[in-house]
Structure 1
Amino acid sequence: MAQAQTTHAETEAHGGAHEDIGFPPFKTETFGGQVLWLAITFVALYALLSKLVLPRLSGIIEHRRVTIAGNLDEAAAMKSRAEAAGAAYEKALSEAKTRAQALAQEARSQVSSETEAKRKALEADLGKRLSESEAVIAQKKAEAMANVRGIAAETASAIVERLTGKAPAPQVVEAALDQPNA
């Protein structure tokens, strides 16, 4: 307890007399100790930072650099793949347009050739029918002309008989019909 009393007495002695306290780092009596502790603390912090913190920080920074470089490489590869896919799409689209135009042209040609074939078949059928009709007309005309001669002979004979009162001989009527018109 004696020590507690001495400590108390010293505190009172210091507390009772007001010395010029001032800012401790600027006191010249403690400057040497402060510089020593500053050097010890600086060396300890430097050792701690250089041995523990800086390797971790440099590892993290290197890892980030590698990750960023990898991501940039991957982005460049994706960009080139996207450009290649775009080019392939444009090429496929162009080929599809070309095929569509070729198919349309082929369809037009096929329809045109089918139409032309049908037209020719129809013209041939019409030509055949026309020939047959002309043959029938010629035959009917020949029959009619043959009948006209007979009708003309009968009519001429009837007219002469009515005018003269007597029927002419059939050879005379035929001879008169054979004469050209005068």
Structure 2
Amino acid sequence: MAQAQTNHATTEAPGGAHEDIGFPPFETETYAGQLLWLAITFVVLYTLLSRLVLPRLGGIIENRRAMIANDLDNAAAMKSRAEEAGAAYERALAEAKGRAQALAQETRAKLSAESDAKRKALEADLNQRLADAEATISAKKSEAMSHVDAIARDTASAIIERLTGKAPAPQKVEAALNQIKA
């Protein structure tokens, strides 16, 4: 069987003596030096921080605060300008709608007037044509009626001639027709 190997590290003090050495900050002999260096380091660090770092940080914070305040003021101004622009847009839109409605009403009235004028002109033309047609019809009717006596005379003479074989006397036909009219 194989032998088990052990790897144990041992700490020995130099020179072969085994002394019990503690943690140096806890050594009571070095308290005074440690406290002195702590005070010196604290004062140096405090001075560096208060004189160099903190003023720079304070300046940066103030600059940032001023930028934020300026940005907020600009944003408020832009918002008010945007609201004013929106209100102006709404007013312009309302005015444009009003003008469009007025223009449409004006155009509607103009077209209506033109249409009425054209309609009246057409009605007058049609009434004139109707009057002319009635006058023509009346003239043709009276002309035709004036020929009715001659047609009746000619027709009666033709019928009598056809029935009897000889033409009747025009005075007798005229007398018979006058008797029928009365």
TM-score over 0.5 for the alignment? yes
After superposition, the Cα gap between the structure-2 partners of 1:131 and 1:178, relative to the gap in structure 1 and judged at 3 Å, is farther
Give the aligned residue type for 2:178. L
After superposition, the Cα gap between the structure-2 partners of 1:52 and 1:102, relative to the gap in structure 1 and judged at 3 Å, is same
Deviations 1:18-46 (A, max 9, x none): 54432222211111111111111111111
| Alignment of 1:62 onto 2:66 | no
TM-score normalised by L of structure 2? 0.73
- Which consecutive residues of structure 1, in runs of 5 or more, have no partner in the other structure? 1-13
Separation in 2, partners of 1:166, 1:126:
50
The match for 2:25 is: 25
Greater shift, 44-53 or 15-24, is seen at 15-24
The match for 1:123 is: 123
| Alignment of 1:177 onto 2:145 | no
Once the 2 structures are TM-superposed, how far is the Cα of residue 95 of structure 1 from its aligned partner? 3.2
The match for 1:95 is: 95
Once the 2 structures are TM-superposed, how far is the Cα of residue 149 of structure 1 from its aligned partner? 2.9
Verify the 8 A CA contact 1:161 1:167 in the aligned structure 2: no
- Which consecutive residues of structure 2, in runs of 5 or more, have no partner in the other structure? 1-12
How much is the aligned-residue C-alpha RMSD, in angstroms? 3.1
After superposition, the Cα gap between the structure-2 partners of 1:48 and 1:165, relative to the gap in structure 1 and judged at 3 Å, is closer
Greater shift, 86-95 or 133-142, is seen at 86-95
Greater shift, 135-144 or 19-28, is seen at 19-28
Give the aligned residue type for 2:174. V
Verify the 8 A CA contact 1:153 1:174 in the aligned structure 2: no
| Alignment of 1:81 onto 2:99 | no
Separation in 2, partners of 1:28, 1:106:
109
Verify the 8 A CA contact 2:157 2:168 in the aligned structure 1: no
Separation in 2, partners of 1:49, 1:169:
157
After superposition, the Cα gap between the structure-2 partners of 1:178 and 1:143, relative to the gap in structure 1 and judged at 3 Å, is farther
Once the 2 structures are TM-superposed, how far is the Cα of residue 174 of structure 1 from its aligned partner? 6.4
Once the 2 structures are TM-superposed, how far is the Cα of residue 123 of structure 1 from its aligned partner? 1.0
Give the aligned residue type for 2:136. V
The match for 1:46 is: 46
The match for 1:108 is: 108
Verify the 8 A CA contact 1:25 1:31 in the aligned structure 2: yes
Once the 2 structures are TM-superposed, how far is the Cα of residue 58 of structure 1 from its aligned partner? 0.3
After superposition, the Cα gap between the structure-2 partners of 1:168 and 1:160, relative to the gap in structure 1 and judged at 3 Å, is farther
The match for 2:169 is: 167
